[in-house]
Amino acid sequence: MPGNRYDRGVSVSTDDERHELLELRYGKGKAPEDLRWNDQIAGLLRHRSVRTYLPDPLPDGTLETLVAAAQSASTSSNLHQWSVVAVTEPELKAKIAATTRMDSMDLENTQINEAPLLLLWVADLSRSHAIATESGDSGDVLEQLDTFLVAATDAALAAQNATVAAESLGLGTVYIGAARNRARELAELIGLPPLSFVSFGLVVGHPDPERPARIRPRPAQELVLHRERYDTSAWREVVEEYEEEFRTFRDDVGLGFKTWRSSVVRMSSGVDLMDGRQNLDETVRARGFLAR
Ligand SMILES: Cc1cc2nc3c(=O)[nH]c(=O)nc-3n(C[C@H](O)[C@H](O)[C@H](O)COP(=O)(O)O)c2cc1C
């Protein structure tokens, strides 16, 4: 798989380098103009998911640094309704990897076994429940949809801070939404208390320089950016233009032909293709969420 120097985390300091990075993100001739820059923004724009790792352990203090970054994220009402389970034992990682299997694609998240660290990000209302009920209160707010969303959002914000910190240290990461495929089994494997569930995983490790991950292009900003009011008219044209970048990226990294639209269709239709995640509602309710 061919790589480019930005795949290896080089600094981005000249205008030419910034332009080149933006073209990797948006496509040739499609880079937005007039962006403001600093090292942090350059780091964010260099992001790519890494699925090939060296087995080397992480330097001492890495986990604690990532957790400090995660805890520095905003957290709804300062309630800290998330947790993270750090898994390094190869046998446990292998069992967890098996729970993330995607039968519909005959694929496993092998990166979980390759990398030295798997972080499991937990939407966690268990402490709030204990504190509320121990003081004689009902804790009934914890059964609401909004509170479920608060915990899942807090976990995501914390994880993304950890991701940015890891990337700034030259490490690679990839999220594992497939951690929800067999949510009940995973909760048992890591001994989660009631009123908590793994929202997603995050693999962390040293990227294998022999198998570099590429920066994946994004659609033009008009797909996601609306000014003052939601505009339903712009996105179809953006999608047409994005198909070209999508195709070029897949050609470059040796993936077979498919359109972006076909990915959307596949992920939007056919509940049996959810690889177990269609049972998540049942699992989270059994774990005490959404009782109202
Ligand atoms: C919540 C979430 C769950 C994801 N789950 C998986 C996963 O289970 N396996 C995987 O290989 N990639 C997973 N990804 C990575 C996405 O496929 C990736 O971010 C996307 O294709 C864009 O590529 P990039 O991150 O390299 O820019 C996940 C990403 C997010 C945000």
Q: What share of the chain is helix, strand, coil (3-state, %, to 5)?
A: 50, 10, 40
Residue 207 has pLDDT above 50, yes or no: yes
What residue owns the CA closest to ligand 1's atom 15?
A: 175
DSSP state of 59: P
| 49 CA from centroid of ligand 1 (Å) | 7
| 204 CA from centroid of ligand 1 (Å) | 13
Supply the DSSP string of 88-139, one letter for each residue: --HHHHHHHHHHT-BGGGTB--THHHHSSEEEEEEEE-HHHHHHHHHTT---
Q: How many CA atoms lie within 13 A of 282 on its CB side?
A: 8
What residue owns the CA closest to ligand 1's atom 7?
A: 176
Pocket test for ligand 1, best of 157, 161, 175 (most atoms within 8 A of CB): 175
Binding pocket residue ranges, ligand 1, CB within 6 Å:
47-49, 51, 109, 174-178, 200, 216
Can you say how many angstroms the Cα of residue 153 is from the centroid of all Cα atoms in its chain?
Answer: 12
| 178 CA from centroid of ligand 1 (Å) | 10
With bands split at pLDDT 50, 70 and 90, how would you rate the model's confidence at 37? very high
With bands split at pLDDT 50, 70 and 90, how would you rate the model's confidence at 1? very low
Residue 42 has what pLDDT? Answer: 95
Residue 292 has what pLDDT? Answer: 79
Going along the chain from its start, the domains and CATH numbers come out as 5-46+215-252 (no CATH), 62-210 (3.40.109.10)
Of the two residues 60 and 107, the one the predictor is more confident about is 60
What residue owns the CA closest to ligand 1's atom 25?
A: 49
What residue owns the CA closest to ligand 1's atom 3?
A: 177
pLDDT in tens, 54-106: 999 999 999 999 999 999 999 999 999 999 999 999 999 999 999 999 998 89
